[in-house]
Structure 1
Amino acid sequence: MRDLSVEAQSWPITGAFTISRGAKTEARVVVARVTQNGLTGQGECVPYARYGETEQDVVAAIKMQQQALADGMTREELQRAMHRGAARNALDCALWDLEAKLAGRPAWELAGLTQPRALTTAYTLSLGSPDTMREAAAKAAHRPLLKLKLGHGGDEDVARVEAVREGAPRAALIVDANEGWKAGDVVPLAKELARLGVSLIEQPLPAKEDEALRGIESPVPLCADESAHGLEGMKRLVGLYDFINVKLDKTGGLTEALSVIRCAKLRKLRVMVGCMVSTSLAMAPAMLVAQQADYADLDGPLLLAQDRAPALHYDGSLVYPPERELWG
């Protein structure tokens, strides 16, 4: 017999986290816990309004699975019972954690993976004025990989990247437009960003307009984020993007995320593993997926005023695999 509990939580962000769609000062997360034989597995998700998710709907969707979980629902059955998204992510990761605890074996071993290692994560700079972003970059200049949130294209975005490059001359740079650019801006802006040493451009166009990317020659590789969710639609991304950003809240958990990674590699798409602004509990399962990625962007806890305990260990931009007291 399994018991289910669900809790919405708020974690303050240091300052504010700003992207082209707006700013926030707290991370709102939902934690699902599944208990069996005195052992509890837990998973964390972030409801995301961009995909029509609300905190109330996510909590309700998780609670709807209470009887099925009590009856012994498996992870495979969960994939069929729930739509891809944040709610399924929390439950899927909770079931992985519970299975690991019941088996007395780490989750990576149950998944047939090699033992995870420490990874270098990108560190995100919020959208701001060029001067503000230059100052933020100077403070983070010791980090090897910075990810910049950009605005709506044009000279102002170029000025932001120039300012960051001045503040952090040796860092590798990724930029994330969060669907903010127009189709005609992509190649001209990419040429400017290539000049500034940018390694990757994430989601330049709105997902519904990204067919305009087919056949263009960008001097900087392009990465799908809002255009890439789970296994469905992967074929269409070939020829539009060079990379996909895999996030557990989009794939609906670790189970599908591992399948997405395999599918991406078969289709010659390279991979970034990303996150929402959330705690170490959300990062922990993503660490397993990130072992197979070209880039890890798992800095969510670094943006918080306080993380949960126990937490992942960060040493600068190096993030270590979770201890089993946290997850898995």
Structure 2
Amino acid sequence: MSKTIIAIIGCGTIANNAHIPAYLANPDAEIKYFCDIRKDRAEKAVDQYGCGAAIEDYRLILDDLDVDAVSICTPNNCHASIAIDCLRAGKHVLCEKPAARTYEEALEMQKVQHATGKILNIGVVNRFNTGVNIIKKMIEDGELGELYHVYVSFRAHRSIPGLGGDFTTKAVAGGGALIDWGVHFLDLVMYCAGDPDPTTVSGQTYSKLGKDIENYTYLNMWAGPPDSTGTYDVDDYVTALIRTAGPSITVNGAWAQNIGVEEMYIDFLGDKAGIRLQYGAEFTIYSAKHGALLDSTPKFTQTNHFQNEIDGFLACIKSGEKLPSHIDTVILTSKIIQAIYRSSEQGEEVSFIKQGVM
């Protein structure tokens, strides 16, 4: 069977840490292009991985009939336009999270996917995580009873990424802590809960600790160092209440806060049992039986979820299978995130019931 020919668009951290190694580890994939507007990064990838050609303009990929699929690992403001161009050129697409800066952009991507029939998956990698899928199966099998509420915490002391750069510029990223970290946590919850339709959303976002870029105090910084002449117009804290056709969901998230304790976990609350998932790690089950309170921490082999994601993408190109990361499913997360931002801006609850768009 012939190999699936891949182009990597955007050769930054997520491409090098996740996408490229996973493609190289799959015998059914061959990387033909490394593309980046900074050609030195594309050339570095060619040298490092010993394959492919370095290019600056992704549009060269569109006319290459050999290319079957692309991974889009660019800043958020490029996701929609590049994905749409690639779909229309007959390429299958795996686009990093979030799907786009706004729900409207994500809807346009979905519309083009439907029109072309090509695959459009979003990089919500937790849907390929071993522990997350065990929790999902437990919920589906009724081991928690009725799942009535989920509490989400993604709070860090000082973790604003790339202060002053793309991460903290709304025109590029679409938002801050909510769209960067929150998309992973919310999508994980939606997946485990069966992707229930949201009914109402009330939220508030804050932009406080990163505004004074020169005096922001931190220990280390992803995508740093800070650019003191740059922009900071995104949220560094968010709180929200989401009602759905399934459980209600509460969210508290912070890139930065004046509490020096990191809290990265999700609580799934059922009337028979509950689960606390330490994000990216193990989980503990809490229940009661025979007059005793019980807790247990399952042991299992954790596989590489990025490898699972890439392997699944390559397999569905050949099989046509619709994966859990397909745009038709993941778009609900974009809808919720947009509603949180809108609720915060307008100072009122957003109701999808009243809008008739459930």
TM-score of the two chains, using structure 1 as the length reference: 0.28
Rg (Cα) greater in structure: 2
TM-score of the two chains, using structure 2 as the length reference: 0.26
